[in-house]
Structures are given as C-alpha cells and as structure tokens.
C-alpha cells in the first residue's frame, strides 16, 4: 500500500506525519457527490448500487487528499437485513414504518439466521470495487453501527432528541433489551468480518447515541456489546466512536480496540493521560470550526495538533463534516495536518 499511515497510527507504529480523514467525507459537501446522487432515485439506491457507492467513496481521496477512504453506506443496513426495512425521508432522515414493540416482533424484525452475503452483498461488492479502483493508494475503512444505536432506531423508528421509547425499554423490558442487543451484536460481527473478507483494512463502530445513557446504563447496555463485537474482530484495527460517552472513556481504556474516537467536547490531553500509549486516539476538531476563515482553520488545527503528546493519533473531526461546509475549507484543514511536523 502506497499510504498506510492510518493503519500504522492505529497499530501504534511509527509515522512520519499524522494521518487525516473525515467522517462523512463522502457526502454532500462535494458537488461531485451531489451530481451522482441526483442521477439516482435517492440515498438508498446510491447505497445499494455498488458501482456508484464505490465512486462516491473514492471522491474524497481524489478531491480532498484524505489518507483513508470509508465505504459509502449506512449503519441502518443492519436492521434492514434483520427484517426491519427503513426509508430515508428527505429533510427528515431515516424512518422505520415498523418497530419492535413486543416479543412477537422478534421473529419478523430481529432475524439472525440469514446469509450476510445474500442480504448485504451490495456493501461487500462496493468494497471490492472500491479497492480495485483505489489500487493501494490508501486504506479502505469498513463500519457498522453499535448495538445500542441500532437498538434505538429499531425501537423508536426514527431519530429523536431523547430516545425515550428506547430508554423506557431498558427499564420495562430489560431481558428483551439484552436479547435484541445480543442479536444485533451477533449480526454485526458477521457483517464486519464479511467486510474485512471483501477488503476492508480497518473498521469503525459508530455509537451515535451513546451520550443519551447514564454511565452505568451505558456500561450495561452499550459498551458491553461493543466490546463483544470488538473482541471478535482480530483481523484488522478496530476503532470505537461513542459520541457523548464522556465518562465511558475510563472504561474504554481496557476495551479490545486499537483506537478511541473522540467527539469535539472531549479533552485530548486528559484522555491521553488516561490511556497513555495503550490506545490510538482519533479526532477531534469541532466540525463548526470549518465555517471559520482559512487562517483561523489553520490556527485551530495547529492548536489541536500541538496538544497531542503521542504519535498514536489519527486526525479527524469530532463528528461528521456538515453538508454546507465549503470543500475548500476542508482542504485547508487537511493541508494543515499534512504540513505539520511531528
């Protein structure tokens, strides 16, 4: 591989400079992405068409100069494969016409006895095509949603400020909650292993709604199931990104992962003191910093880089890049990281 900085940083090996990529880099910030999207019926068709998914996966490598590609897909392909179909509603986000309310819903909507390649083969094919087109330029990252975040959508049916239905489920039907989380974890292990077999060089587990649980509940219903997945993924480096789970970072020190992703509210210096050299950290510039002037973006990025006390760091934002950010501002961020001497 011509550029394996991300992989070396994740493994704690020596690097010449910090690697950089962005969550949601393959997306609406790029006019080239919007052109591909406009040629199709919608988001789901793009996800489910391997050639087009591969095309938009590679765009940020060509146009932004990032050090890794991340396969264009969605975390909600897993509940769909389990029997719970979702829709992507314009200006509203994901919506599930059906949700899990009772034990009887499990047979229909929480299936585990199925062939991953049969139901999620389009993602695997997109990975194969992407790798062929990348031709070893940069690594390709695979991903999946964490069980708790997937659970939230399967119970709630859509995004929510509180996910009170999902949280209520933990109190009123804890055994069924654990059963569903176990099923999601089992499918996710098989899915990530299939991605790795198809050519993913590392994988990331996204727990977007980690921050809505208290620390004790997150250990019980969140981190426990992420760790169950991560301990079975031994083939490639694993990153855990648990947004908002500030107190849980203490518990992640001993998690079976290579990298801990940090959101922009987490303090890099304190967390580095906590993990030492045992983990790579990833992040964590505030995405809104990219609305600033080019010179201010350079200053903020250099300040972030100056705060690192280890080469075990992958530079990223503290969340996905927002769709109305100027791609030229993103390029300034990336160039600043690449020009920084370590």
In the set 4, 8, 24, 52, the catalytic residue is 24
| Annotated catalytic residue, options 37, 52, 183, 312 | 37
How much is the CA Rg of the chain, to the nearest whole Å? Answer: 19
- State the greatest distance between any 2 C-alpha atoms of the chain, in Å, as a whole number: 58
Residues 39, 206: Cα–Cα separation, whole Å: 29
Given 18, 86, 109, 153, the catalytic residue: 153
Catalytic residue among 28, 34, 137, 299: 28
158 and 94 Cβ atoms separated by less than 8 Å: yes
Do the bridges between strand 238-242 and strand 93-95 make them parallel or antiparallel, or are there none, so unpaired? unpaired
28 has catalytic annotation:
yes
Side-chain half-sphere CA neighbours of 120 within 13 A? 29
- Residue 16 CB contacts under 8 Å (≥ 6 apart), including other chains: 5, 342
Which candidate in 4, 67, 74, 105 is catalytic?
74
Residues forming beta bridges with residue 88, ordered by sequence position: 94
In this structure, the strands spanning 280-285 and 313-317 are: parallel
Distance CA 291, CA 253 (A): 33
Contact call for residues 19 and 5 (beta carbons, < 8 A): yes
Terminal-residue alpha carbon distance, the chain:
22
Nearest-5° Cα angle at 76, 74 to 48:
55
Nearest-angstrom CA–CA distance, 252 and 192: 20
**Strand 238-242 versus strand 259-261 pairing type:** parallel
Residue with tokens 């996905």: 320
Report DSSP state, residue 284: E
Is 299 annotated in the active site? no
Cβ atoms 68, 138 nearer than 8 A? yes
Which backbone phi and psi does 316 adopt, to 5 degrees?
-160, 180
Nearest-angstrom CA–CA distance, 137 and 131: 9
Residues serving a catalytic function are 24, 28, 37, 74, 153
């Amino acid at each position: 591989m011509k550029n394996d900085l991300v992989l070396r940083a994740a493994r704690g090996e020596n690097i010449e400079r910090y690697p950089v990529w962005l969550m949601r880099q393959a997306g609406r910030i790029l006019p080239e992405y919007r052109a591909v999207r406009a040629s199709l019926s919608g988001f789901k068709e793009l996800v489910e068409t391997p050639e087009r998914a591969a095309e938009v996966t590679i765009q940020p490598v060509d146009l932004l100069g990032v050090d890794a590609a991340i396969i264009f897909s969605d975390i909600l392909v897993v509940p769909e494969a389990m029997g719970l179909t979702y829709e992507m509603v314009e200006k509203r986000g994901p919506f599930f016409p059906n949700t899990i309310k009772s034990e009887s819903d499990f047979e229909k909507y929480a299936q585990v006895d199925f062939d991953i390649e049969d139901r999620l083969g389009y993602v695997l094919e997109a990975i194969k095509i992407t790798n062929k087109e990348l031709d070893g330029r940069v690594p390709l990252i695979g991903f999946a949603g964490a069980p708790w975040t997937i659970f939230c959508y399967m119970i709630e049916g859509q995004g929510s400020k509180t996910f009170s239905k999902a949280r209520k489920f933990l109190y009123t039907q804890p055994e069924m909650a654990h059963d569903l989380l176990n099923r999601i974890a089992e499918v996710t292990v098989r899915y990530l292993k299939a991605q790795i077999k198809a050519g993913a060089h590392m994988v990331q587990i996204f727990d977007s709604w980690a921050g809505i649980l208290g620390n004790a509940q997150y250990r019980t219903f969140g981190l426990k199931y992420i760790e169950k997945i991560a301990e079975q993924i031994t083939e490639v480096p694993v990153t855990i990104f648990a947004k908002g789970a500030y107190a849980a970072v203490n518990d992640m020190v001993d998690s079976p992962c290579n990298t801990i992703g940090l959101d922009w509210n987490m303090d890099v210096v304190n967390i580095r003191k906590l993990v030492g050299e045992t983990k790579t950290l990833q992040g964590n510039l505030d995405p809104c910093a990219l609305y600033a002037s080019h010179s201010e973006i350079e200053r903020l990025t250099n300040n972030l880089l100056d705060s690192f006390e280890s080469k075990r760091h992958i530079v990223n934002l503290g969340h996905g890049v927002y769709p109305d950010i100027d791609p030229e501002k993103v390029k300034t961020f990336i160039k600043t990281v690449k020009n920084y001497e370590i």
